[in-house]
Amino acid sequence: MDLKLELVAVPVSDVDRAKVFYELLGFNADHDHVVSDEVRFVQLTPPGSACSITIGVGITEAAPGSFAGANLVIEDADAAHAELTRRGIEVSEVQEMPWGRFIFLSDPDGNGWALQEVPAH
């Protein structure tokens, strides 16, 4: 039995502001559909990923900013840090851990992300 994680809801307070942030981060805007006054579905996919996020109106009852713990795998933490800083995204310094090198960031609502350079085996 395959279990493929393909879509994760990220709760935001301002859909347009969040969409601009995730596009600046490098996510591709796949869909942006207003279904009704109560539902707007926006799907964004990180480059190279089989899993997307959804933001919008009527998507989740979770509080904006309550999403945390997702890792985006990157090849080079130093290069990613430099590129994201150049784009104007506030990121942590590169942090060294036994299981990888990490950069941490939050979207405008405070939803937390980790970018992980996986150590070579």
Q: Which CATH superfamily is domain 7-117 in?
A: 2,3-Dihydroxybiphenyl 1,2-Dioxygenase, domain 1 (3.10.180.10)
What confidence score (pLDDT) does residue 49 get? 95
Q: What is the pLDDT of residues 61-117, one digit of tens each?
A: 999 999 999 999 999 999 999 999 999 999 999 999 999 999 999 999 999 999 999
Burial of 103 (0-12, 13-18, 19+ CB in 10 A): buried
Q: What is the mean pLDDT of the chain?
A: 96
DSSP SS3 for 107: coil
Task: Tell me: pLDDT of 121 over 80.
Answer: no
CA–CA dist 74, 116 (Å, integer): 6
Q: What is the pLDDT of residues 9-21, one digit of tens each?
A: 999 999 999 999 9
Element (H, E) at 63: none
The percent of residues above 70 in pLDDT, for the chain, comes to 100
Look at residues 90, 111, 112, 114 and name the one whose alpha carbon lies nearest to residue 103: 114
Q: What is the pTM of this model?
A: 0.94
Task: Tell me: pLDDT of 119 over 90.
Answer: no
- Tokens at 21, concatenated: 């942030």
Task: Tell me: pLDDT of 32 over 90.
Answer: yes
- Tokens at 55, concatenated: 């933001």
